Chain A
Amino acid sequence: MRSIVYYVREFLRPEWLKKFFFVKTAPLVTPPYFKGYPTLTGKDCTGCFTCMMICPAPDAIAVLRRKEQWEPEVYPGHCIRCGLCVEACPEGVLASGRVTDLARRDATAFWHSFHLEVDESLCMRCGNCCVSCPINRQIDPQLAGTGTSTSDEVIMRVSSGRVRILHEEKCTGCKTCETQCPSGAIRVARMVEGVQFLDGVES
């Protein structure tokens, strides 16, 4: 009897009844520090391919030519939301959470250098790498149109039956050649270094 009285008193409390009938969980809000998929800020992309170079996931980001203008496109199924592209972009084209703000506040950046190498035993001399390379296509429009090139200014070119690397320093490390190579013969070594400039002095 006493327990029944206890329960009736326990459950007839106004606050309990209010909670029981009008309970609401707090609305789900995305916190400002959450690193989501990178979005475009609207700033002009210069087509430097740094985002493609640093991206650790295969096929997660591509910089595409759209109506006389470069524009990065993020593929959410492939993107792992690491935020490296946002941090690496020198123009601030991409945004994700607080990554851009923090990188600007602490003056952090990534430095990179590249090295191209072709494994002669795997290479079939198909020339896919030379044709697909976005820098090659910019330097020599003929290569983009016809697939043949005579220019010596391109990064690499098939001549006398071999892929010859002519201008390694022009490479932007975007890995397009690596993904287009059917036999995995060409490799881009991307050496990346995280640096910070504080009070105008590099660490």
Chain B
Amino acid sequence: MKKTVDVSIPLGPMHPCWKEPVRLKCETAGERVLHTEVELGYMKKGIERIMRGRPWQEVMFLAERVCGICSVVHNMVFIEAMELISDIAVPPRAACLRVVANELDRIASHLIANFSYCYTIEHETLAMYLLNTRETVLDNLERLTGSRINTAYMIPGGVRFDLLPEDAATMLADLAKVEEELKRYVRIFETGPLIGLRSRGIGYMSREDAIRAHTVGPTARASGVEDCDLRLRHPTYRALGFEQVTRTEGDNFARVMLRFQEVFQSIDLIRKCVDTLPAGHIRGGGLCRAGEVSYSGEAPRGELTYTIKTDDFGRVLDIAIRTPSIMNIEACAHYMVVNATSIADVTSTFISSDPCIACNER
């Protein structure tokens, strides 16, 4: 980057506010930040290269290890892409259970994103409250799948385990508790005067900028971009009557509040799924075949795309993953923190766009 000012301050790659290594180079004039550039490339894994030549039962595990926070949706999008290639139908009960696992994962991911934001603006009490609530959600994910994070729950043609009736009752009771706790936390966040000073009007991105920067997921929805949630196009979600949450403020406060709203929406979706869980099979069978497809699904951070090419025996010949954070990180650097009043706002704005570096660099 060409240096145009006297002081260029690097944030990261190791920074107390970052969950993962990334460097932000800030050009400053006094306390004011004029311009920011993102530098990635500290944790490249080369996971797409490792996936090549392997069958689904191995790639499934590699796919969910792309991201440690939203691993279920990577599994889901990969498996649904394989089903699209091979024309495998999913039994309705399995489709509903997939939504349950995916929404539990989304709640956990949104809670950790909001935890990071609260931690970055030094509201550690609320941050720790949110992490504590996340544990309850992960316990339920473990009860359903046997693992907290890397669940490997979905396979072509269905899911691996059924939801037992007693587990479903525990899950609903736990979710009611989570909802009650979260209502209190949201009130703390909404009405906290210091939180308001650090969040409202900071890191503003207009709707036009959000569209120009190709932002996806909660970052785009908080700026008022309509029809950008891919769950609107997913058949199971459509059957559940899913509607997108949109906010118009476009600042840090809106992004965090939007994630809180989506958590409540996810809880409602899980309730609807568990209450109307159709009886029947959880696995339909079906072998993976040759083909090529590009398939997208809605990850907690936005649109996640898998482009897969397979051979006659269902092995992955070529695979490309596009994760949502890459657009959001660039949008954050070039639209949200332009002419920020303080360097402290750069960290909080960056974290409010929920960057996932592990996803980005794969």
Contacts and interface: CB of A to CB of B under 8 A. Distances in A.
Interface of A: 31, 33-35, 54, 56-57, 80-84, 87, 96-99, 102, 105-106, 108, 111, 115, 187, 189-196, 198, 202-203
B291 interface: no
B281 interface: yes
B57 to A, nearest CB: 5
A108 B146 contact: no
Contacts of B152: 82, 84
* Interface-central residue, A31, A98, A194, by most chain B CB under 10 Å: A194
Interface in B130-176: 142-143, 146-147, 150, 152, 155-158, 160-162, 167
19 contacts: A56-B57, A56-B58, A56-B60, A56-B61, A80-B150, A83-B146, A84-B152, A99-B146, A108-B283, A189-B315, A190-B57, A192-B55, A192-B57, A193-B156, A194-B156, A194-B283, A194-B285, A196-B283, A196-B285
* Interface-central residue, B146, B167, B315, by most chain A CB under 10 Å: B146
B278 to A, nearest CB: 13
A31 B57 contact: no
B18 interface: no
- What is the size category of the interface that chain B forms with chain A? 20 to 34
* 7 residue pairs, one from A and one from B, having the closest CB atoms: A189-B313, A35-B146, A196-B283, A56-B58, A195-B285, A203-B281, A194-B155
A82 B61 contact: yes
A111 B162 contact: no
A108 to B, nearest CB: 6
A87 B167 CA distance: 20
Contacts of A34: 142, 146
B307 to A, nearest CB: 22
B153 to A, nearest CB: 10
A80 B61 contact: yes
B55 A33 contact: no
* Interface-central residue, A105, A115, A193, by most chain B CB under 10 Å: A193
Nearest to A54: B57
B62 to A, nearest CB: 8
Contacts of B157: 193-194
A199 to B, nearest CB: 10
Contacts of A31: 142-143
Nearest to B161: A102
B250 interface: no
Contacts of B167: 33
